[in-house]
């Protein structure tokens, strides 16, 4: 009687030990899978249109490549072209790359940023290396050097804040340049 009881107790303990090891191993695998960073979404040659509260297009974003990681609030964009579509101020903004942050409702454009006014002649063109745009407030700002041209006129400054809703432009420091009237 002692032999079969010992065998049953041994088998019971072996099953419990095997079960606890297997369960912990599966939990570790699930935790490792959750913690690994991977591309959650990507698109080639894309166009995204966002609408305002009234159902009108607010802005359009095009690009050559977009990717977003599973563990990030940021989306990376290559060759972005960002079109602000407000009635009083339409702008086309391009750059080498951008980072969209949905949580903060911002787009950070980087490297060779060109912001060009649309539907006006001569158009205002703003060149800089970095530009942060709040998509909700329509405010674009930078702390880097900006070169602003309109026709033959040129303004240079270190930093700017531009409100697209009010069309107000504030140059922050070291402002220089010249204004030539155009016909």
pTM: 0.76
Q: What angle do CA 156, 87, 46 make, to 5 degrees?
A: 80
Residue 22, pLDDT above cutoff 70: no
Name which residue leads in pLDDT, 7 or 83: 83
**pLDDT recorded at residue 136:** 86
Q: What is the mean pLDDT of residues 35-39?
A: 80
Structural domain range at position 108:
39-178
Asked if 2 and 74 sit in the same domain, the reply is no
Pairing of strands 74-78, 39-51: unpaired
The pLDDT value given to residue 31: 58
Is residue 183 assigned to a domain?
A: no
pLDDT, residue 161, reads 95
Parallel, antiparallel, or unpaired: how do β-strands 124-134 and 168-178 relate? unpaired
Task: With cut-offs at 50, 70 and 90, classify the pLDDT of residue 25.
Answer: low
**What pLDDT is stored for residue 28 in this prediction?**
57
Asked if 111 and 143 sit in the same domain, the reply is yes
Are 4 and 43 in a shared domain? no
Please compute the mean of the pLDDT values over residues 61-83 and round it to a whole number: 92
pLDDT at 94: 96
pLDDT value of residue 114:
96
Residues 104, 54: one domain? yes
Is there a single domain that holds both residue 87 and residue 121?
A: yes
Q: What is the mean pLDDT of residues 131-152?
A: 93
Closest C-alpha to 134, from 108, 98, 95: 108
Question: How many structural domains does the chain have?
Answer: 2
DSSP 110-154: EEEEEEEE-S-SSPEEEEEEEEEEETTTTEEEEEEEEEEEETTEE
6 and 58 co-located in one domain: no
Query: Confidence band (pLDDT; 50, 70, 90) for 121?
Result: confident
Q: Are 54 and 62 in contact (CB under 8 A)?
A: no
Q: Are residues 81 and 101 in the same domain?
A: yes
pLDDT top residue among 35 and 130: 130
């Amino acid at each position: 009687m002692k032999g079969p009881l010992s065998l049953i107790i041994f088998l019971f303990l072996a099953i419990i030990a095997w079960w606890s090891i297997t369960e912990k191993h599966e939990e570790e695998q699930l935790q490792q899978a959750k913690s690994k960073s991977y591309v959650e979404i990507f698109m080639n040659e894309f166009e995204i249109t966002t609408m305002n509260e009234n159902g009108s297009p607010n802005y359009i974003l095009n690009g050559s490549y977009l990717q977003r990681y599973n563990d990030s609030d940021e989306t990376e964009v290559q060759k972005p072209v960002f079109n602000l579509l407000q009635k009083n101020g339409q702008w086309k903004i391009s750059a080498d790359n951008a980072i969209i942050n949905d949580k903060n409702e911002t787009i950070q454009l980087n490297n060779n940023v060109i912001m060009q006014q649309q539907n006006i002649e001569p158009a205002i063109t703003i060149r800089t290396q970095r530009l942060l745009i709040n998509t909700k407030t329509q405010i674009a700002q930078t702390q880097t050097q900006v070169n602003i041209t309109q026709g033959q006129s040129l303004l240079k400054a270190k930093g700017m804040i531009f409100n697209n809703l009010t069309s107000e432009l504030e140059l922050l420091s070291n402002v220089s340049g010249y204004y030539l009237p155009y016909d």
